[in-house]
Amino acid sequence: MAEQAILSYLETHEEIADSGNFAAECGIDHAEIVNAIKSLHGFLYVESQDIKKETWVLTDEGKRYAAEGSPEVQLFLAVPAEGSIAKDELQKKFDPAIFKIGCSQAGKNKWVEMGRQVSRKVVQVEDKVKDLLLKIQKAQVIGQADINSLKARKLIVLQTWKGYSVRKGPSYAPQREKFATDLTRENLQSGDWEKLKFKAYNFNAKGPPSECGHLHPLNKMKDCIKRIFRMMGFEEMATNRYVESSFWNFDALFQPQQHPARDSHDTFFLKTPSTTMQLPEDYVERVKQVHESGGYGSRGYNYEWKREEANKNLLRTHTTAISSRMLYKLAQDTKQNGFTPKKYFSIDRVFRNEAVDRTHLAEFHQIEGLICDRGLTLGHLIGVLEDFFKRLGMSNLRFKPAYNPYTEPSMEIFSYHEGFGKWVEIGNSGMFRPEMLQPMGFPEDVRVIAWGLSLERPTMILYGIDNIRDLFGHRVDLDLIKKSPLCFIGIK
């Protein structure tokens, strides 16, 4: 309808001078006229020129005063013509904002005497503010000084109005020609197709965004790290067990039973089943021995090792529990078939009984790598770490001596973060102790170098996320997942 109105009008008139007036004359919504102009313009039926008009319009407060009168007049009228009224009494008649503005304006105008008692100082007042507001509402012109004072009181604001002037365009026709968008069977049968005009293809049109799934940043990071490990010749360990016995999680790792990490404040223990069913008994015996009295050149911890403590089920606190199982298996295989060097990795979830804050969750993911071979040294570990982290885009590493019950020596790994302008801890590493490897049954000269880090830390650094709860858990915004980059340049 809007389109036809425009085309018909232009058939007999040079120009539509103002789309706003035109819309009002036709009784069509201006927005609709504007849409029709844009569409006709696109097909060169019309030419159009922007018109911008700035008009003053009433704010909500302005509208209220235009209807009810200005606060100062409302206040004046509430004061008796003779005598006076107590200020408290007067106040009760108004809402607080109106009363406050009314008092100050009526006082400024010297209309009333304000004290404990309020009385009139003039006989009659005019509501100039209301009159001005009504004029603006009717689009009448008012003086600049009045505009300024209404604007200062935030009763009016400037609104920009956009419209168009319209003339015939190079392809003008009194009726829009209909183009066929499809060539149908009927067109072919009837012979229509010879006369039909077809709509040109728009090869520049954007297609609708394709609906597809999106990978979570942690999954993308996990894939990327898996690829790095595989390129470096590592095999993935099977991590499909969240529930682990204390034995594999702690004891096999030479972590003493009174170690604070084994407290329920730090570890989630299971209620059912609360204990493990099966452990390799002869190995358990050797682990007990090494805890109690050492061996293999160690003095042990010198305490009474308790089987019940080792049997307790828990949610694994680190993936090193998986490494201990795998190394035990490898040692058994070594006894039968001789030793084969191995490179293993895992990336999976671990659980800790921690207070949740912006950098900690009670569950997170660990990345773990280990190499088991004869004659490995700390130098090998540093070299492998440098290679591994370089592929993640971190080439500037520093190492700091650290302590783990199962590694000696141990090193924390730091990387210089250009964005943060400081060294940040990115992982932990070390050489597994003989007290861990020897009871498993490895030959004496077999060494294991290993390291672990959280998956969340590098993901947060890479994706610029500073609160872990924005990355993982129920508060994650799906848009983060949809909009996160597909890949990062510089990571292999």
Is the Cβ of residue 65 or residue 364 nearer to ligand PHE in the bound state?
364
For position 430 contacting ligand PHE by CB under 6 A, the verdict is: yes
CB contact at 8 A, 214 and 303: no
Q: Which of 19, 246, 320, 346 binds ligand PHE (CB under 6 A)?
A: 320
Is the Cβ of residue 163 or residue 452 nearer to ligand PHE in the bound state?
452
Q: Which residues 6+ apart lie within 8 Å of 146 measured at CB?
A: 132
- The span from the CA of 251 to the CA of 440, in Å, is 12
Bridge-partner residues for 50, per DSSP?
Answer: 164
Is the Cβ of residue 130 or residue 325 nearer to ligand PHE in the bound state?
325
Question: Could you check whether the bond before residue 273 is cis, i.e. omega within 30 degrees of 0?
Answer: yes
- Give me the least distance between CB of 60 and ligand PHE, in Å please: 59
Q: Strand pairing of 46-58 and 156-168?
A: antiparallel
Give the number of residues in contact with ligand PHE, rule: CB under 6 A. Answer: 11
What are residue 167's phi and psi, to 5 degrees?
-130, 170
- Per-residue tokens: 21: 């007036």
Task: Mark 262-301 with x for binding to ligand PHE (rule: CB under 6 A) and - for no binding.
Answer: ----------------------------------------
Is the Cβ of residue 427 or residue 441 nearer to ligand PHE in the bound state?
427
Instruction: Count CB atoms within 10 A of the CB of residue 311.
Output: 17
Stretch that binds ligand PHE, among 31-39, 170-178, 192-200, 422-430 (CB under 6 A): 422-430
Is the Cβ of residue 450 or residue 460 nearer to ligand PHE in the bound state?
450
Q: Which of 222, 262, 318, 325 binds ligand PHE (CB under 6 A)?
A: 318
Residues 390-419 interacting with ligand PHE (rule: CB under 6 A): 404, 407
- The span from the CA of 14 to the CA of 166, in Å, is 9
Element (H, E) at 399: strand 397-404
Q: What is the DSSP string of 412-468?
A: EEEEEETTTTEEEEEEEEEEE-HHHHHHHT--TTEEEEEEEEESHHHHHHHHT---G
For position 434 contacting ligand PHE by CB under 6 A, the verdict is: no
Q: Which of 452, 460, 461, 465 binds ligand PHE (CB under 6 A)?
A: 452
Is the Cβ of residue 153 or residue 352 nearer to ligand PHE in the bound state?
352
For position 229 contacting ligand PHE by CB under 6 A, the verdict is: no
Task: Mark 344-383 with x for binding to ligand PHE (rule: CB under 6 A) and - for no binding.
Answer: ------------------------x---------------
For position 458 contacting ligand PHE by CB under 6 A, the verdict is: no
For position 74 contacting ligand PHE by CB under 6 A, the verdict is: no
- Burial pattern 141-168, b for ≥16 Cβ within 10 A else e, equals eeeeebbeebeebebbeeeeeebbbbeb
Instruction: Count CB atoms within 10 A of the CB of residue 207.
Output: 5
The residues that touch ligand PHE, with contacts defined as CB under 6 A, are: 318, 320, 368, 404, 407, 428-430, 450-452
